[in-house]
Structure 1
């Protein structure tokens, strides 16, 4: 059975969330869902996630999995909300434990926060296989942007998270705590060793002027034309480029609120004694 796909673009964060399903009336997974968040007011909303829930209902789909490619730094995850509304299991790469350790220290999180991945329903190992209804899925470890990045391979598609962007945008940054440009290069070469016709589906697009948002490129297209890592770019050149470029980049606008939520599988921090939930703003920490 061939996978069916519906993708949703969130213009506010440049994020693409994907719904993969086996057949109408069957089973589905949502990959990299987004929780609406207004940084100025601290207000959350669920309009984007509700569009995906509406699609599930319209197609009669059972939500089996909510899959994260990593703990994102540019949007808050709606995983916990989707699970409450439609069920399913939240999965992420096993190395999320390393990310939890790093950021539990950055944010000095509450004593009860556990750095064991238990906030998620399943931690995937490299090349672990599982199913979405009748579809076979393989997990690919793709560290570099963060230690915990993974891709999900279904048929001739791979959902690559932030490992790669569209060819005219390039590749993900590696200057977050735990990032490693050499590892990212090796992860990308792993993807680009797949058959030329394999379709790589991005989690983000930041289109240059004059181009509409897009999120699908073949291995052949990436190898021929990726701005940062086309064929002929070796590891040393890539690492030098990536380190120089990353040194010029501002931090993502939502990195501080998003990481606090995303290492909790999309759950907000626990309410304090006044019933209000708070996100921390560490000073001079990043």
Structure 2
């Protein structure tokens, strides 16, 4: 096991003695996204993982109902927000992190490889000189193995590229927030065909996560209700993924996974909100600056993706 995973495993073991974090979820059905408030019951310090800004693409309107529900919960529980954590630059929803940060405070963080994503999409969207693709829109850029805390609870960033180059999983106590790397065992794994994505890297990232203890709780960023399942579910365990993930259970080798993932991705259409989402989320959830008439605009690059 690599040194980072050794320390993550030790952290998970310590959490069983010291106490697990409380995890409260919010599921946004229009984007199939799970947002989490994870907090230390001893200090009531907290983090928000993968928030959602409501967006009506047809009308070009943003709303904050989903984020306001998070704010109401945080204030109702008397929590202090230390971190606003993004697992990657989402292609299926806009982040509400700046809105939440203004209301609740906290540092906005993502993986350091977001700079690679910014450099690709800055050109696609012709973002202009006001946008610097250097990660400066975020307060903290995590490297693999970086440590931080939420109150008394230990936390660690794990770099899990493949879906995008910048994906980070957060190990918080004995809970892991995987972003888009994994879905529920009956649904499988994330696509790997976005710019900078790599199915081989995705396989290795998943195998890395599956080295964590079987009982480790996994909290996923999305659920789409697999065929035959009537309810949305977004929590599972490492053991359940290792044994039962339909794409990458034990016994599936790397070449077979890459072949499956590549063939499957070729049949998928682009997420319906990819164009607005990426150009906002590469800015840390900030909307583009208003133009001379006071209105903000999102671009639609033609024939670019």
The one of 227, 232, 256 aligned to 2:251: 232
The secondary structure found in structure 1 opposite 2:179 is coil
Q: Which aligned segments of 4 or more residues in structure 1 are displaced greater than 3 angstroms?
A: none
- Mapped contact 1:24–1:60 kept (Cα < 8 A): no
Q: C-alpha deviations, 1:225-246, integer Å up to 9, x for none?
A: 1111011110000000000000
- Mapped contact 2:89–2:278 kept (Cα < 8 A): yes
> What is the total number of aligned residue pairs between the two structures?
286
Q: How does the TM-score come out when normalised to structure 2?
A: 0.92
Q: Is the aligned partner of 1:125 residue 2:147?
A: no
- Mapped contact 1:127–1:138 kept (Cα < 8 A): yes
Q: Is the aligned partner of 1:91 residue 2:109?
A: yes
State the distance in 2 between where 1:214 and 1:118 align. 35
Partner of 2:13: none
Q: C-alpha deviations, 1:151-209, integer Å up to 9, x for none?
A: 00022211000000001110000000000000000000000111111111100000035
Partner of 1:55: 73
Q: Is the aligned partner of 1:103 residue 2:145?
A: no
Q: How does the TM-score come out when normalised to structure 1?
A: 0.98
Instruction: Name the stretch that deviates more: 215-224 or 144-153.
Output: 215-224
State the distance in 2 between where 1:210 and 1:183 align. 29
Partner of 1:160: 178
Partner of 2:25: 7
Q: C-alpha deviations, 1:19-50, integer Å up to 9, x for none?
A: 00102762110000000000100000000000
State the distance in 2 between where 1:84 and 1:242 align. 39
Question: What does 1:161-180 align with in structure 2 at a 5 Å threshold?
Answer: 161-180=179-198
Partner of 1:269: 288
State the distance in 2 between where 1:166 and 1:210 align. 11
- Mapped contact 1:97–1:117 kept (Cα < 8 A): yes
List gaps (5 residues or longer) in structure 1: none
State the distance in 1 between where 2:88 and 2:118 align. 11
The secondary structure found in structure 2 opposite 1:160 is strand
Partner of 1:136: 154
State the distance in 1 between where 2:91 and 2:165 align. 13
State the distance in 1 between where 2:295 and 2:182 align. 38
Partner of 2:215: 197
State the distance in 1 between where 2:172 and 2:297 align. 38
